[in-house]
Structure formats: structure tokens, C-alpha cells
């Protein structure tokens, strides 16, 4: 792992990892640490060892993070590599930083510029997602929801029927649903569910992130074929 024009060495990064190595009580002599910031598309931390050198990359989203956050991130990585249980107070600053609304907003802005969404087409063989979006928007959102990029997945997914990625601002539905045997109400429900994610972004509540808030669940049940659509999707799972 060599630095290039996309990376930047972390000032004091090696010293941070040496301190956390000692604080966690890791076995053996500390290796040499090479720590850098890297322009990932999310809040990513990576670590790998090559002989006597440990290479670490932090998302450059952490470049302005306070020292306790950087130390907590280092402790998390070292605890995995050396199989040490990191004390909760030691890693708490990073977890709180990662879950904060401010960090998530910064990450979404960053992803908007860095992530290239897969080429997706709204017009399927059997359902037109753009048309369905407009109909649902008018019926349930008073036409006020701005349409994100929308389309069918390029490949079939095994475990999910839809997703909303706030970074590139894109809704994708599983192409498995674009089938004549799938009732339209099921497709509409999945699309409606993802539209609610646009209206109700993931937020922090205490120490957890909430994707399906009480308000989200209440609005979701406004869908008239809610129960029927869920039964159909359960059979498709």
C-alpha cells in the first residue's frame, strides 16, 4: 500500500496506534504503523499487516475528527487484529461520531459526488417505476416528494426487494418484481416503502440509528394493500 495522489498521511497516526497498542495490552513488540487518509465512499476503516509493517487507511471523512475519535477508531481496528476486547469508554467516541446526524449528512454529501450509481432504467418489461412514483407521490405525498434517481436493479437480489441510497439519492427495486406474476400492489408497496425513506431519513436516537421510526411505520400502514402486499412478498422471499 503506497501513498498516491488520492491519499494523505495522517499526522501523528503512528503515535496514536502505538498508544492504543499499549493501552489494549496487545502481545509482542509494536509493529511499524503506516496510517493514511483515503477518499472512500463511506466511513471506512481498513487495516492489514505485511511482515513488520501494519498499513491503515481511515476514510478522509475523519480528517477533521477530534483526537479521541481517531484514538477510538484505532482501538477498534487493533482489537480486531490482536483479538483484544476494547473497553467501551475507549471506543465510544468513534461510535458516537459515526452515528451522529452531522457525520451522516457529511457522508451523504460526499457520496453524492463520489459514488457513481449503477445504470438503472425505470421502465421495466412489466412495470414503469417512474409512472408509479408519480402516482404514489400525488396520492400519498401531495406531489411534494422530489423524485430521486429511480430504476430496476441490474442484477437480481436474493434478500431485499428495494433500497434507497441517500448518497447518490437513488431508489432501486429488485428486478425480480418486474414479472407478470407479481401483483402491481406488491411493486407499489415496495416503492412506497422506499419513498418513505426519502421523506424520513435515518436518524440517531440515543446510541442507535433509527431507519424505521414510529412516524415511518404509521405512514407505511396508510398503504391500502399493506397486509396483502406483505403476504405476497413473504411468499417471494
User: Is 227 a domain residue?
Assistant: yes
Residue range 51-77: mean pLDDT, rounded? 93
Residues 140 and 109 in one domain: no
- The reported pLDDT for the residue numbered 1 is 47
**Residue 3, in any domain of the structure:** no
Q: Is the pLDDT of residue 51 over 90?
A: no
Backbone torsion region of residue 142, taken as left when φ is above 0, otherwise alpha when ψ lies between -120 and 50, otherwise beta: left
Residue 75 is assigned to a structural domain of this protein: yes
According to DSSP, residue 100 is labeled S
Tens-digit pLDDT profile for residues 151-184: 999 889 888 999 998 878 899 999 999 999 999 9
Give 94: exposed, middle or buried? Use CB within 10 Å, 0-12, 13-18, 19+: buried
Within-domain flag for 120: no
* 34-56: average pLDDT: 90
Q: Which residue from 146, 187, 157, 151 is spatially nearest to 170, judged by alpha carbons? A: 151
Mean pLDDT in residue range 13-32: 93
Same domain, 80 and 148: no
Q: Is 15 in contact with 34 (CB distance < 8 Å)? A: no
3-state secondary structure of 82: coil
Looking at the structure, tell me whether residues 109 and 139 fall in a common domain.
no
Q: Are residues 19 and 51 in the same domain?
A: yes
Q: Are residues 67 and 161 in the same domain?
A: no
Residue 55: inside a domain, yes or no? yes
Provide the β-strand partners of residue 59. Answer: 38
Burial of 132 (0-12, 13-18, 19+ CB in 10 A): buried
pLDDT in tens, 99-147: 888 888 888 777 766 766 667 799 999 999 999 999 999 999 999 999 9
Looking at the domain assignment, is residue 123 inside a domain?
no
Same domain, 162 and 89: no
In a domain, residue 119? The reply is no
Same domain, 103 and 185: no
Model pLDDT, residue 204: 59
Q: Decide which of 61, 90, 114 is a domain's last residue.
A: 114
Which is it for strands 45-50 and 53-59: parallel, antiparallel or unpaired? antiparallel
φ and ψ at 131, to 5 degrees? -65, -45
Q: How many CB atoms lie within 10 A of CB 150?
A: 21
Give residue 43's pLDDT band: very low, low, confident or very high (50, 70, 90): confident
Go through the chain and tell me how many residues it has.
237
Number of domains in the chain: 2
Half-sphere exposure of 101 (CA within 13 A, CB side): 9
CATH number, domain of 54, equals: 3.30.2010
DSSP element (H, E) containing 178: none
Report in angstroms the alpha-carbon separations of 17 from 7, 57, 68.
18, 12, 12
Give me the CATH number covering residue 136: 3.30.2010.10
Return d(Cα 78, Cα 84) in angstroms, integer.
8
pTM for the predicted model, two decimal places? 0.59
Q: Which structural domain range is residue 156 located in?
A: 129-236
Which residues does residue 50 pair with via DSSP β-bridges, in sequence order? Answer: 53
CB-based contact 30:52 (threshold 8 Å):
no
Mean pLDDT over 196-214 rounds to 76
Contact yes or no for 131/112 (Cβ under 8 A): no
Residues 44 and 86 in one domain: yes
179 domain residue, yes or no: yes
Amino acid at each position: 500500500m503506497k501513498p498516491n495522489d488520492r491519499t494523505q498521511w495522517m499526522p501523528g497516526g503512528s503515535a496514536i496506534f502505538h498508544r492504543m497498542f499499549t493501552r489494549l495490552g496487545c502481545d509482542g513488540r509494536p509493529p511499524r504503523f503506516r496510517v493514511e487518509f483515503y477518499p472512500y465512499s463511506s466511513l471506512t476503516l481498513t487495516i492489514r499487516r505485511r511482515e513488520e509493517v501494519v498499513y491503515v487507511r481511515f476514510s478522509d471523512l475523519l480528517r477533521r475528527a477530534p483526537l479521541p475519535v481517531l484514538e477510538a477508531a484505532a482501538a477498534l481496528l487493533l482489537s480486531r487484529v490482536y483479538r483484544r476486547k476494547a473497553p467501551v469508554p475507549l471506543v465510544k467516541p468513534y461510535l458516537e461520531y459515526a452515528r451522529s446526524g452531522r457525520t451522516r449528512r457529511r457522508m451523504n454529501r460526499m457520496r453524492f459526488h463520489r459514488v457513481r450509481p449503477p445504470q438503472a432504467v425505470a421502465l421495466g418489461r412489466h412495470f414503469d417505476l417512474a409512472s408509479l412514483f408519480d402516482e404514489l407521490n400525488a396520492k400519498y405525498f401531495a406531489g411534494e416528494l422530489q423524485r430521486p434517481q429511480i430504476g430496476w436493479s441490474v442484477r437480481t437480489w436474493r434478500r431485499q426487494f428495494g433500497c434507497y441510497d441517500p448518497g447518490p439519492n437513488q431508489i432501486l427495486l429488485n428486478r425480480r418484481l418486474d414479472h407478470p406474476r407479481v401483483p402491481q400492489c406488491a411493486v407499489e408497496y415496495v416503492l412506497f416503502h422506499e419513498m418513505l425513506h426519502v421523506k424520513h431519513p435515518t436518524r440517531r436516537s440515543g446510541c442507535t440509528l433509527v431507519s424505521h421510526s414510529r412516524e415511518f411505520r404509521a405512514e407505511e400502514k396508510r398503504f391500502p394493500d399493506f397486509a396483502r402486499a406483505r403476504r405476497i412478498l413473504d411468499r417471494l422471499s
